[in-house]
Structure 1
Amino acid sequence: MKNRPGLKQYIFAALGVVILVLLDQYTKLLAIAHLKDQSAFVLWNNVFELHYLENRGAAFGIFQNQRWFFVIMTVVILVVVSWFYGRTPVEKRYLPLRICMIVLTAGAIGNFIDRLTRGYVVDFFYFSLIDFPIFNVADIYVTVTFIVLVLLIFFYYKDEDFSIYSRRQEQKHAD
């Protein structure tokens, strides 16, 4: 397939991932330094607060203490996203898709680092108005990426845009 990402695109992707992961990890270090063992810091009364939580599961408390499940799932996700990134053309039309893959990768790595180094994920954003599960910057990356991908798939890309991922289409471009 022609027009696959080259060294420049991989460097851009790696740099983007590193910057986003550093931002996520920095906010978690701030949360540990300023929120751990403290009462919640209310930013907007009955709406939004900073509340330190050591999350050993996923959203809504599911999969508690399943550290290796999350580690394995993260590795699988990173392999799949890398595979898709390597097969996504450099054309401008696919830029939103490539950016989504970069942001998704950063979110997965951000929480992966926590699970490997701490055994839990540091969460600290809490929307008390709707009693939404406490989350972090990496969770924002993953959630926003998912929403944007759904919107792109349903409203921007057409079925034929995804033929780039089929083996037959790949073989046609190679000929």
Structure 2
Amino acid sequence: MIWFFRVSVLAYVVALVVAAFAYPEQVPVHFDATGAGDRFQPRGVAVLSMAGAGLGLAVLLALFIRVFARGSLKHLNIPHKSWWTQPENSDRLRRMLANDLAWIGGCTMTLMTCMLAITIKVADDAKPSMGTFGWVTLFGFLIAVTGQVVFMYTSRYRPENP
């Protein structure tokens, strides 16, 4: 899943470059509960804000993935911790943790890319709105991440021979 995270970050960078050229002078940067744009910023401020938020999050997630792959397992809260922290199982645990975080990070970056694409699409509209695609994207993200967390907790970390 590391590849998914990397591709999602690359997609975000591409969308950010497109936004820098495609945005009008005023850009919707926040949508209310109905999906309508309710806060606007100048193009430069919007692009810099989205670059800082998206790329900052990508760097933070990449650092956490690296820490999971190499860091201490002492403070983890996982099912069957005593089995997983045995020397013969710890390398597999580290790979699994890094891949799980990469999946969640990839989903998060994909959500951010979709929201950026929606903003590019509706920025010129008289009444910009997130539309159906925005809501489907948001709920798809929530379902994917919730499903992964449930899978991780209920079966992914179940040892083969406890």
TM range (shorter): 0.3 to 0.5
RCO comparison, higher one (Cα < 8 Å, 6+) = 2
Kindly indicate which of the two structures has a greater share of residues assigned to helix: 2
TM-score by length of 2: 0.38
TM-score by length of 1: 0.36
